[in-house]
Chain A
Amino acid sequence: MSLDEIKIGGLGASRRRVEDNRFIRGKGNYVDDIVLPGMLHMEILRSPVAHARIKSIDTSAAWDMPGVRLVLTGEMMAARNLAWMPTLSYDTAAVLATDKVRFQGQEVCAVIADDPYIAKDACAKIVVDYEILPPIVNPVQAAAEDAIQIRDDKAGQVGNKVFDWEIGDKARTDKAFEDADLVSKVEMHYPRTHPSPIECCGSIADFDRATGKLTFYVTSQAPHIVRAAVALVAELPEQQIRVVSPDIGGGFGNKVPVYPGYVISILASILTEKPVKWIEDKTGNLISTGFGRDVYLKGEMALRKDGKILGVRMNTISDHGAFFADAQPSKFKIGLMHSAFACYDIPTAHMFATGYYTNKAPGGVAYRCSFRVTEAMFFQERMVHAAADDLGMDQAEFRRVNFVKDDDFPHRTAFGFLTDSGQYEKCLNVGMEAIGYKDFAKEQEEARKRGKLLGIGISTMTEPLGAGNSREYDILGIKMFDSAELRVHMTGKAILRTGAKTQGQGHETTWAQIVAHELGIPAEDIVVEEGDTDTAPFGMGTYASRSTPVAGAAVSMAARKVRAKARKIAAHLLEVSEEDIEWELGRFYVRSNSDRGVTIQECAMAAYSNMPDGMEPGLENTAYYDPPNLTWPFAAYFCKVEIDPETGVWDVLQFVAVDDCGVRINPMIVEGQIMGGLTEAYAMANMQYQTYDEEGNCIGANYMDFLLPTAWETPGFELYEVVTPCPHHPIGAKGVGECATVAGPAAFVNAVVNALSHKGVRNIDMPLMPNRVYEALTTGKDVYGMPPVRSGN
């Protein structure tokens, strides 16, 4: 009799999160919870201005304060060749400013003191003499012929351009536009936003001169990348570097890069020979660490009268801030923007992307997405919405006509990706049914007669999750595989370690479920550990929804290797040949007599006490997994809104989310991921953005200006499920963590624009704050850009 997989916490069990046992008791162990003997505290002095030449820095009053151990300046970093560091996009970024400050909040000095109060007091005593330079706060200013050059530190840098990059078939696309019955055009801006994890960044560097070992506790989504970076930048021997990511209070892409504070704390520990703790405050996190988005689009679609899309053009201009520090695979300059239109069968497409430096914080991290996929899918679904309107065609029907059909996989997209599975039309139908789509047009018409403004919006997309494969995806040359190491103890309990790093995703729960599925060991008997580079196998970390597609697959493969060895042990114990053994969940048995069997636990005991002659003892294995392709989940979201015509305030009346992320390991956790992602999508659509005034002051430097929605204003979401297993993943799973953040925003915006379509409104740039919606509804005109600096149009 086989085990009940749900009962042992296997695949499909909505098992409660084991990590919550400590989190809900306040017993998590975050970087700031770690206290080491003799530990010093570091505070960073940041630039108050966006662009200025540093004429002088006087740190003498800070040095004079009792309790101050060290004051570091850019010059002192430069003397050790540490004033600049490489970014994840082959650019350089300042660690402490030497020549100029290039954005508000840039790191200028660091004070290391006995306690954080003294460090902060001492920062206030440092006198920096700035010669103010004109700030550049958007790409239009950056591209101007007479624009001041921001990166005058870089030999060979021309103007403020970071890159020109293109992909697709230009000639064929031009031809498609010549043949089109109608060309639909849109212009829009995806505003700058910030991942804003509740826990800010921080580190403790503990350099032991006696052993030469550096132990580095850090809030990193990718501890192994940090170790590699420290080895390369600080030129410390890699075997002497131990990076530990303890519990992490949210990452969302913000904790992928290596930040100046990390590097400075390491040098400070080496110089003081004491552990040095640096904990960023909320303003520091918001104004200096990796932001998301900030891309302008000019999009065009060539259409045939019957609704068929013939070709797509996308021209993007992106604002990268002072340093090109996007966290992305090295082949691609604007991430995976060209994953746009992957769910549509489009003959040809072309994209031209240009990036600029500005006097804003560097970053361009994938805020809960795979490298600019959020922008790609938002632009896609806004272009699709506009095109259907321009054609006078129903929004759902236009999508249905252009979807890749279930039988057409694998499908090569117009930009060159290979999608492999999906049931797009089925998802669309489930959503239409749930939201009452067919009755809406009448409902809207009647509401308009009563002066009420109702709107409906659809967003459908498939996105590439789970980089790599290693042929195409690397970061700084390191291939994007991942790993798992499974060690089964003699009593049949186990420890599993992976190269990923959970930040709330629930790996400690779900990885154990995969092992339970593969071996029949109850999930509660398996402990999961991540984040310590001395013990975990090498992996590229957790972001881009890659954990389940890559590390999760490695867990399966490691477990299968363990099962293969256990099978040999079972044959030995049952005194039959291996070919006569069958497997059912948790147990091997003799094919001719199923009553004769041994459990996986009995095999584990034998691996340590009664192994066959000539067999290595023990029961453990490691798998490094390089996926053959990305995984392609699908989302179909529907949003119904009502706008208050006197205030521009809009309410979500209903939101339906249909997600197909393949096989769900833990449905409860998947639903949590979707709810969280939709909340972030709602935030971006409704209230959340970072902008800069004319002087380059960041508007959005704290939680009163940079808004996170609460349970109060976040609408309810109705979730539906369709399952199309991933054809290449060992258990058929696809990435899901980011689908809702990626597909969500366009559903909200499309709904609001739909409500105002009869007034001639085609676009309102996010965030759709009430005043902007009111402006659109009273003027009948589109609303572009971000206040107070409106740019780009």
Chain B
Amino acid sequence: MYPSRFKYESPKTIEAAVALLDAGKGDAKILAGGQSLVPMLKLRFAFPDQIVDINNIPGLDYHRFDADGSLHIGALCRHEDLEHSAEIAQRQPTIAAAAPLVADPIVRTRGTFVGSVCHADPQGDWAATMIALGGHLVVQGPKGKRTIDMKDFVLGPYANALNYNEIAIEAVIPAPKGVARGGYLKLERRVGDFATASVAVALDMDGNRVLRAGIALAGVGGKTIDANEEASALVGHDLTESIIDTVAAAVAAKAEPRTDHRGSSDYKRQIVKTFVKRILVAQIAEKVA
């Protein structure tokens, strides 16, 4: 790999990292897992002046459920930490379903959840998952911390709402109202392929009744597709095949897929519809039991 020349710093605190970003005036990039940045450096699609490696900042490699039931994921939590977490498997089914489908096992040992969300790849798994879950990010800049709702975070392909001198230090998923249910399905041609289509579904349920519903899509638009509005038609209802069909069709209509060598736009909509149905049908109370 022969990237363009860049300066490299490895600060020990978030404050020092923020200062480097601030000094870089937009020409500095954060290196966390590096699983998107490093290939882009290799291909010289990215040529930052300054790399700010945050891997030596202590205390960011956590994920934990707080007493109120909210889930907190630190900036250096790797995909595989979530994939192998017994707590996640038990309490957060959408993330548990998505984690083993992120890229490939090699990428998952190194890549980070928060980094993937920030990368805002239209085909990224975690941005879609976070939108479906109604999560937010805690970010830190020169003037301190603020939070950004996921619905406002992804602005376009590879574009997010962070200022150039801010670091996303934590992702937060609010506590479920009832029981957290949901799933994640992805069609890919091969492990590690960009998704032809991905569907994230997150439900809060009381028995078979839906208390909250979120759906987001990856790979079927110029950015992550937020279909939470379509999903909200489920709220207050029991999960039945007929309401599922209606919602699946509405979500598929919300997708904005492009015809390319992975398939026609109609085909990708068909995949979205099928996956939404499959995930939701699997949550119908008697099927769960």
Residues of B within 8 A of A787 (CB): 260-261
The reply to whether B271 and A647 contact each other, CB–CB distance below 8 Å, is: yes
The total of Cβ contacts below 8 Å across the A-B interface reads 60
Residues of A within 8 A of B5 (CB): 117, 121
Chain A residue nearest to B263 (CB atoms) is A771
Bound-state CA distance A648–B190 (Å) is 15
The reply to whether B260 and A788 contact each other, CB–CB distance below 8 Å, is: yes
What is the 8 Å Cβ interface bit string for chain A, positions 672-691, against chain B (1 contact, 0 not)?
00000000000000110001
Known pairs A647-B271, A647-B274; A712 contacts B191 (CB<8 A): yes
The reply to whether B2 and A774 contact each other, CB–CB distance below 8 Å, is: no
The reply to whether A775 and B267 contact each other, CB–CB distance below 8 Å, is: yes
What is the 8 Å Cβ interface bit string for chain B, positions 170-203, against chain A (1 contact, 0 not)?
0000000000000000010111111010000000
The reply to whether A788 and B261 contact each other, CB–CB distance below 8 Å, is: yes
B104 in the interface, Cβ–Cβ < 8 Å?
yes
Chain A residue nearest to B278 (CB atoms) is A646
Chain B residue nearest to A702 (CB atoms) is B43
The reply to whether B2 and A117 contact each other, CB–CB distance below 8 Å, is: yes
Bound-state CA distance A649–B262 (Å) is 13
The reply to whether A699 and B261 contact each other, CB–CB distance below 8 Å, is: yes
Known pairs A691-B261, A769-B263, A774-B270; A710 contacts B192 (CB<8 A): yes
Chain A facing B: main interface SS: loop
- Which of A647, A687, A708 has its CB near the most chain B CB atoms (within 10 A)? A647
Residues of A within 8 A of B208 (CB): none
Bound-state CA distance A691–B262 (Å) is 12
Chain B residue nearest to A774 (CB atoms) is B267
Residues of B within 8 A of A770 (CB): 187, 189, 196, 263
B147 in the interface, Cβ–Cβ < 8 Å?
no
Task: Identify which of residues 671-729 in chain A touch chain B, using a CB-to-CB cut-off of 8 Å.
Answer: 686-687, 691, 699, 702, 704-705, 707-710, 712-713
Quick one: which of B189, B260, B274 contacts A646, CB cutoff 8 A? B274
- Which of A121, A712, A770 has its CB near the most chain B CB atoms (within 10 A)? A770
The reply to whether B191 and A713 contact each other, CB–CB distance below 8 Å, is: yes
Min C-beta distance of A40 to chain B, whole Å: 15
Quick one: which of B2, B190, B259 contacts A709, CB cutoff 8 A? B190
The reply to whether B196 and A710 contact each other, CB–CB distance below 8 Å, is: no
A347 in the interface, Cβ–Cβ < 8 Å?
no
B56 in the interface, Cβ–Cβ < 8 Å?
no
Known pairs A646-B274, A649-B187, A710-B104; A771 contacts B196 (CB<8 A): yes
Residues of B within 8 A of A702 (CB): 43
A120 in the interface, Cβ–Cβ < 8 Å?
yes
A67 in the interface, Cβ–Cβ < 8 Å?
no
Residues of B within 8 A of A704 (CB): 192-194
Chain B residue nearest to A119 (CB atoms) is B2
Bound-state CA distance A687–B196 (Å) is 13
A-B contact pairs, 14 of them (CB 8 A): A647-B187, A647-B274, A687-B190, A702-B43, A704-B193, A704-B194, A709-B190, A710-B104, A710-B192, A713-B190, A769-B262, A770-B187, A775-B267, A787-B261
Min C-beta distance of A632 to chain B, whole Å: 34
B264 in the interface, Cβ–Cβ < 8 Å?
yes
A116 in the interface, Cβ–Cβ < 8 Å?
yes
Bound-state CA distance A775–B263 (Å) is 9
Residues of A within 8 A of B274 (CB): 646-647
Min C-beta distance of B255 to chain A, whole Å: 15
The reply to whether B270 and A707 contact each other, CB–CB distance below 8 Å, is: no
The reply to whether B4 and A121 contact each other, CB–CB distance below 8 Å, is: yes
Residues of A within 8 A of B (CB): 116-117, 120-121, 646-649, 686-687, 691, 699, 702, 704-705, 707-710, 712-713, 769-771, 774-775, 787-788
Task: Give the bracket for the number of chain B residues in contact with chain A.
Answer: 20 to 34
Chain B residue nearest to A645 (CB atoms) is B274
Q: A646-B274, A687-B190, A712-B104 known; 18 other A-B pairs, CB under 8 Å?
A: A120-B2, A648-B267, A687-B189, A691-B261, A704-B192, A704-B193, A707-B190, A707-B193, A709-B190, A710-B104, A710-B191, A712-B190, A713-B190, A770-B189, A771-B196, A771-B262, A774-B270, A788-B259
Chain B residue nearest to A712 (CB atoms) is B191
Residues of B within 8 A of A648 (CB): 267
What is the 8 Å Cβ interface bit string for chain B, positions 263-284, against chain A (1 contact, 0 not)?
1100100110010000000000
- Which of A649, A709, A769 has its CB near the most chain B CB atoms (within 10 A)? A769
Bound-state CA distance A788–B267 (Å) is 15
Residues of B within 8 A of A117 (CB): 2, 5
Bound-state CA distance A646–B4 (Å) is 46
Bound-state CA distance A707–B196 (Å) is 14
Min C-beta distance of B192 to chain A, whole Å: 7
Bound-state CA distance A770–B270 (Å) is 12
Bound-state CA distance A649–B274 (Å) is 12
What is the 8 Å Cβ interface bit string for chain B, positions 1-24, against chain A (1 contact, 0 not)?
010110000000000000000000
Chain A residue nearest to B260 (CB atoms) is A788
Bound-state CA distance A120–B5 (Å) is 11
Chain B residue nearest to A767 (CB atoms) is B189
Residues of A within 8 A of B271 (CB): 647
Min C-beta distance of A702 to chain B, whole Å: 8
The reply to whether A771 and B264 contact each other, CB–CB distance below 8 Å, is: yes
Residues of A within 8 A of B193 (CB): 704, 707
Known pairs A646-B274, A704-B194, A775-B267; A769 contacts B2 (CB<8 A): no
Closest 3 A/B residue pairs (Cβ): A771-B263, A712-B191, A646-B274
Chain B residue nearest to A709 (CB atoms) is B190
Chain A residue nearest to B192 (CB atoms) is A710
The reply to whether B189 and A707 contact each other, CB–CB distance below 8 Å, is: yes
Min C-beta distance of A120 to chain B, whole Å: 5
Min C-beta distance of B282 to chain A, whole Å: 14
Known pairs A117-B2, A771-B196; A646 contacts B190 (CB<8 A): no
Bound-state CA distance A710–B263 (Å) is 22
Residues of A within 8 A of B43 (CB): 702
Bound-state CA distance A710–B191 (Å) is 7
Min C-beta distance of B136 to chain A, whole Å: 31
Min C-beta distance of B266 to chain A, whole Å: 10
Bound-state CA distance A649–B271 (Å) is 11
Residues of A within 8 A of B4 (CB): 121
Bound-state CA distance A686–B189 (Å) is 8
- Which of B190, B191, B262 has its CB near the most chain A CB atoms (within 10 A)? B190
Min C-beta distance of B227 to chain A, whole Å: 19
The reply to whether A710 and B190 contact each other, CB–CB distance below 8 Å, is: yes
Chain B residue nearest to A711 (CB atoms) is B191
Residues of A within 8 A of B259 (CB): 788
Bound-state CA distance A116–B4 (Å) is 11
Residues of B within 8 A of A710 (CB): 104, 190-192
Residues of A within 8 A of B190 (CB): 687, 707-710, 712-713
Bound-state CA distance A775–B266 (Å) is 10
Residues of A within 8 A of B262 (CB): 769, 771
Bound-state CA distance A712–B104 (Å) is 9
Chain A residue nearest to B268 (CB atoms) is A771
Task: Identify which of residues 63-91 in chain B touch chain A, using a CB-to-CB cut-off of 8 Å.
Answer: none
Residues of B within 8 A of A647 (CB): 187, 270-271, 274
Residues of B within 8 A of A707 (CB): 189-190, 193
Quick one: which of A686, A687, A771 contacts B267, CB cutoff 8 A? A771
Chain A residue nearest to B261 (CB atoms) is A787
Residues of A within 8 A of B264 (CB): 771, 775
Bound-state CA distance A117–B2 (Å) is 6
Bound-state CA distance A702–B267 (Å) is 25
Min C-beta distance of A32 to chain B, whole Å: 13
Min C-beta distance of B14 to chain A, whole Å: 32
Min C-beta distance of A137 to chain B, whole Å: 14
Bound-state CA distance A770–B275 (Å) is 14
Residues of A within 8 A of B261 (CB): 691, 699, 705, 787-788
Chain B residue nearest to A644 (CB atoms) is B274
Bound-state CA distance A705–B271 (Å) is 20
Bound-state CA distance A787–B264 (Å) is 10
Min C-beta distance of B60 to chain A, whole Å: 29
Bound-state CA distance A769–B113 (Å) is 30
Bound-state CA distance A649–B187 (Å) is 9
Bound-state CA distance A788–B261 (Å) is 6
Bound-state CA distance A707–B261 (Å) is 13
